[in-house]
Amino acid sequence: MATVAPQDPSSAPFDFDKEVCALVRDTAPRLFAVVQECDLETEYADACVAAWGMAYDDGSAHVIGVGGMVAMSLGSPERAVRHYYGRREGISARLVWLPPAG
């Protein structure tokens, strides 16, 4: 698999493992959390992670609730927010994106 030209012995051989790692890194889904927030306008403001998700290049997403009881395949990450938003008065939800691994 090495692509070393005979006249240039200093050429580095093809590194398959490096290429596979780059492929995985380039095609990995984006990770996000669905965070529920309450009492935002008070001194008792609080938040919790309600679900974790993966967003794909085609716009779709897979989401699983923190307790593992809810699993969803959705057309977009934003649809997960609808599931966790406003079930009780004063509760809101939003997406929080994790930075890419670096």
- Domain ranges, ordered by start, for the chain: 29-97
User: What's residue 4's pLDDT?
Assistant: 52
Residue 7, pLDDT > 80, answer no
Q: What are phi and psi of 74, to 5 degrees?
A: -125, 160
For residue 58, what pLDDT band results from cuts at 50, 70 and 90? very high
Distance CA 49, CA 65 (A): 9
Mean predicted lDDT score pLDDT of the chain = 87
Residue 64 has pLDDT above 90, yes or no: yes
| Total-model pTM | 0.76
Q: Hey, what are 97's tokens?
A: 């994106």
Residue 68: which pLDDT band, with cuts at 50, 70 and 90?
very high
